[in-house]
Amino acid sequence: MNNKIDVEELNLTPKDFQSDQDVRWCPGCGDYSVLAQVQRVFPTLGIKKENFVWVAGIGCSSRFPYYMSTYGLHGIHGRAPAIATGLKVARPDLSVWVATGDGDLMSIGGNHFIHACRKNIDLKIILFNNRIYGLTKGQYSPTSEKGKVTKSTPFGSVDYPFNPTSLALGSEASFVARTIDKESKHMKEMISRAAQHKGTAFLEVYQNCLIFNDGAYSDLTNKEIKSDHVVAVEHGEPLMFGKNFDKGIKLDGFKTVVVDLNDGKHTVEDLWVHDETDESPIRAFMLSHMTDDPSMPTPIGVFRQIFKPTYDEGVQAQIDHIIEKDGEGDLEDLLFSGNTWVVD
C-alpha cells in the first residue's frame, strides 16, 4: 500500500520528529547517533508523521520510542517483532519500525525475530549491537565475544556469540545491512535504504557502550587504523579497502582472501565484485562471516536485497478477495462454527 506524499508538500524537518522527552542515554552513547540520523531521514520519506510507529522491547535502545515524536509502543523483553507484526497486519498503511538491542533481540526475542524475517513482514528492524547488557549494568550478551569478562562471566564467557547479520540472512530477511554508529553519513544512507525497502529490512548498528563495553569496536572507529579494518560493500563495486584503497578481497572458491594491489600480482579485475541482488544468499553469508577471521576487514553496507511478496500484503489480499466474494464476515459465526461444544 503506497501512501507516500510529495516531500515538499509535507514540509517536515528533523525537529518535527524530536519529542519533548529528555534523552536519558549516557553521555557519549552511540544511541544518540542512531536517533539523530533517523530524525534526519524521516522527513525525506514522503510519509505523514502520524503514519510512523516505533515498537521497542526492553533495554537502553528500547527507550527509542520516547524520543521520537511519532506513535510508539514500549513492549516487554524481546517481543517487539511480534507486536510490530500484529500492528502491520492490522494496519498495513503504517510505517512500522522496531528499535532493539542485542540482548533484547538475540536472546529472548530470537524466535520472534527469525519468524518476522521468514514471513517477510514489511517491518524496519534496527538492532543496536553493543555486545553487552547495558541497562542491567554489564552482563555479557548473546553477541559478546567468547572469553568476554563481565559481571556475569568473571572468568570469561565460554559461550559462542550470535552473528546477527548471518542470522537475518539465514532467516530469509529480504534486506540485510550493517553500519557503525560513528559513520553518520553511511548510517543515514543505510536507514534510508531500509526505509524504502518493501519487506523485512534488518539493519545492524555496531554501537559503543561507553560505560560497560567501551571500545568494543575501536579497530573499526579509530581514525588512524579503521581504513585497514573496514570494507564498505557497494553494489557493482569491487571490495577494496585500506588508506589508499590498495588492498582488496578476492574469492578463492568458498574462501575470501585479502590481496595487496601493489604486489604486482593482483589487479582490481581479480577482486570480488559485490552483487547485493544475488538470488543466492551464499556470498552474502560469506560476507557476514568475514568477522569470524581477525585477519579480514569487517564489511558494512547492504549485504543483500531481494524482492518478494510480503506477509501483510498476502493477508490483505485474502481479506479483499473474501469481501469481494462473500461480503463482510461475521465474527460470531466464525467463533461458533466448527468444533464447538457446550460445557454444563
Intra-chain end-to-end CA distance of the chain, in Å: 48
In a domain, 281, yes or no: no
Q: What is the CATH number of the domain that holds 13?
A: 3.40.50.970
In a domain, 51, yes or no: yes
In a domain, 337, yes or no: no
In a domain, 188, yes or no: yes
The model's pTM is 0.94
In a domain, 306, yes or no: no
Tens-digit pLDDT profile for residues 142-198: 999 999 999 999 999 999 999 999 999 999 999 999 999 999 999 999 999 999 999
* Percent of the chain's residues with pLDDT above 70: 99
Mean pLDDT score across all residues of the chain: 95
In a domain, 132, yes or no: yes
CA angle 188, 108, 177 (to 5 degrees): 25
Using CA atoms, how far residue 265 sits from 46, 106, 228, 273, in Å, is 49, 43, 20, 18
In a domain, 328, yes or no: no
Tell me the residue range of the domain where 88 lies.
7-216
The number of distinct structural domains making up the chain is 1
- Answer whether residue 1 shows pLDDT above 60: no
- Which of the four pLDDT bands, split at 50, 70 and 90, describes residue 285? very high
Give the pLDDT of residue 2: 52
- Which of the four pLDDT bands, split at 50, 70 and 90, describes residue 340? confident
Tens-digit pLDDT profile for residues 289-339: 999 999 999 999 999 999 999 999 999 999 889 888 888 878 888 888 888
Is residue 259 within 8 Å of residue 270, measured between CB atoms? yes
In a domain, 226, yes or no: no
Average pLDDT for 30-34: 96
